[in-house]
Structure 1
Amino acid sequence: MIRAAATPTTALKSPFRVLPLARLAKGGRWRTEAMRSYGAPVLIWFTRGQGRITVSGKTAGYGPHNAIFLPAGTMHGFEMSNQTFGTIVVFPAGVETRLSLPEDPVHLRLREADKQGELSRMIDNLQREMENGSPLAHQAMMCHAGLLAVWIERELLKKDPEDSRPDATGRLAAAYAALVEQEFHSPKTVRDYAAELGVTPTHLSRVCKKACGRPASAILSDRVHYEARRLLSETHLPIKDIAARLGFASPAYFTRAFQHHTGQTPSGFRKVQ
C-alpha cells in the first residue's frame, strides 16, 4: 500500500514497486482523490478509463495511454472509477539524481501504438526483474529504471516548451500547493499562506478556483484530512495525538472538522477501516 509522505512498503524487499492502480483505491475513493503526496517519485500509467487529475494545484483531464510522472513530494489526486485501469511504478526514494529523473511533474499523452507498447514493455521488464529474485536483480532494476528515465526525457524533448510552461495562475497555484505540502501539519490558515505568497486570501482562492476548480481552503482541508484518514487507518496513534500532529487546537475541534469533511467521526472512521 502506498503511504503519503513515506516510501511504500510491501512484503517484497525490492526498493521498487509496480502496482495495479486498483490497489491504490482499496479502503475508499479518498485514497486516490484526496490531495496527498508520496515520499518517492512515481510514474502513473493509465491504460483505460478517463477522469481528472490535479497535480501541484492544477487540474487536467486524463485518458487512456496517459503517463504522468510525479517527483517525490508532489501534491496530487485523481478521479478513479471502476473502469480505470493502469499501473503505478514507485521508484526508490532519493534516486532522482542518480537516474536523472525530471524535477517537475510530467504529463504525456501517448497517441502512437508503438509508444504505448514501448512504455508497457519497459514497465513489464522492471516488474519481471523485481519479482524473479535473480542474482543482481537490484542492479538490473536500476538499469530498467534508467531506461524509463531516458524514455521520459526523450518524450519531453519532443514537446514544445511553451506547452508546459505555466502561466501566472499556474505558477501561483503550484506555489501554494508546494507550501501546503510542506506545512499542512501546522495550524496555518489560508490567510497565512496568502501572506507568505504576497497576495490576498481572496486572490489566492480565485486563482486556485481557476486552476483546479476548488478554492484554496478546500485544497488545504483536503490535504489535512487525507493525512488524518491515513493516520487513523494505518497507525494506532490516539486521536488526540493525531489532532496535535495536524495542528488542531484541541481533539474536539479536530473531531468537528473531520466529521464536517468526511461525514464520520474519527473513531467511527477508524472502526470501519
Structure 2
Amino acid sequence: MSVIPAAPVGPLRLVPMQRLTHGGRWRTEAMRSYRMPILLWFTRGQGRITVAGLTRGYGAHNAVFIPAGTMHGFDVSSQVYGTAVFFNESVPLELASDPFHLRVRDARHQGQITGLLESLQREIDGERPLKDRAIAHYGGLLSVWLDRQRFEAEDRPQDCAARALVRRYTEAIEEQLYTGQSVSDYAEGLGVTPTHLSRVCNQTCGRPASDLLADRLTFEARRLLLDTSLPVKRVAEVLGFNSAAYFTRAFHHRTGQTPSDFREARKR
C-alpha cells in the first residue's frame, strides 16, 4: 500500500473541500489512497466519485466514507463545497471497514452532521483543556451518526459480484503498487481473464481495468516527483517500469508533460 499524506496531528483533521485541489485538480481526480480513513461531506455542487472501482454521482448532502488504503478519486469544480474529515489511524474509533455512499435527504440528519462538524472545528481551533479528548469524543459521535445513516439507507448494491471483484482489484493494486504488475497479472491473481476484469470495471465505473491501473500509477509518480528528490530513473524503477524511457512516454501520454518538466514546473 502506498503512503500519501502523514496522519493528522490530532485525533481528527477537517479540510475544506476546495483546499484539497491546491496544487492541481489531479490531487483529487486521479486514483490515490490514504493510510487513514476519510469522510467526504458535500454540502453544495455535484460531480462524480470513484471508490474501490465503483463510480457514482454525488451532490449536496452526500456523505462518502472511504476506509484507509482504499483507491479513490473524484472531480471537484469551483461550485463544490463541503468538508473532508481525516481520521487519525491511531485513535480507536469504531469505523466501517467497507466504503459507503450516503444520500442524506432528511433535514434533521443534515443538521446533525453540520452541528457535529462545527463543534469539531471549534475544538480543533481552540485551546480549551482536554482538547484532544473532546475531539475524540466528537469523532465517536460522528462514527455513530455514520453507522445510523448507513443502516437506514435505502440504497442497496445492484450487482454484488461485479462490485466485489472490482474492489478486490483495486485492493490488489494498492497492495502491489510497486511490483510493476500488468492487468493480466492482476486478473490471473483474481482468478479471472483480463477481458472479464475490464468488462466488469467498465460496468461499475465506466473505465477499463488498464485505465484504473494507469491512473493510480500516474498519481503515485506525481507524488514521488514532488515529494521526493528521487531521480526520474529511480522513480520509474520504484513503480516497476522496465525503463525510464517507457515511464517517460507513459507519464507524458497521461499528463502532457515529461516527468522532468512536471517536477520543474511545480518548483517554480
Please, what TM-score do these two structures have when normalized by structure 2? 0.94
Contact 1:40/1:94 (<8 A) preserved: no
The alpha-carbon distance between structure 1 residues 8 and 127, as it changes in their structure 2 partners (threshold 3 A), is: farther
Q: Deviation per CA, 1:53-109, whole angstroms, max 9, x where unpaired?
A: 1010010110001011111011111111111111101010243xx211111112111
Corresponding residue number in structure 1 for 2:57? 61
Deviation at 1:117, TM superposition (A): 1.4
Deviation at 1:235, TM superposition (A): 2.2
Q: 1:79 aligns with which of 75, 86, 91?
A: 75
Corresponding residue number in structure 2 for 1:197? 190
Contact 1:7/1:92 (<8 A) preserved: no
Corresponding residue number in structure 2 for 1:16? 12
User: In the alignment, residue 168 of structure 2 is paired with which amino acid?
Assistant: A
Corresponding residue number in structure 2 for 1:220? 213
What stretches of structure 1 move > 3 A for 4+ residues in a row?
A: 6-10
Q: Deviation per CA, 1:115-174, whole angstroms, max 9, x where unpaired?
A: 1111011011111111112221111111000000111111122135x8147521111111
Q: Distance in 2 between matches of 1:70 and 1:133?
A: 29
Corresponding residue number in structure 2 for 1:258? 251
Ranges in structure 2 where 5+ consecutive residues have no aligned partner: none
Ranges in structure 1 where 5+ consecutive residues have no aligned partner: none
Aligned partner of residue 156 in structure 2, secondary structure = helix
Q: Deviation per CA, 1:186-227, whole angstroms, max 9, x where unpaired?
A: 110000000011111111111101110110000000000001
Corresponding residue number in structure 1 for 2:235? 242
RMSD: 1.6
Query: How many residue pairs get matched?
Result: 265
Q: Distance in 1 between matches of 2:145 and 2:157?
A: 18
Aligned partner of residue 207 in structure 1, secondary structure = helix
Contact 2:169/2:186 (<8 A) preserved: yes
Corresponding residue number in structure 1 for 2:152? 158
User: In the alignment, residue 187 of structure 2 is paired with which amino acid?
Assistant: A
Counterpart check, 1:123 vs 2:117: yes
Counterpart check, 1:37 vs 2:30: no
Please, what TM-score do these two structures have when normalized by structure 1? 0.92
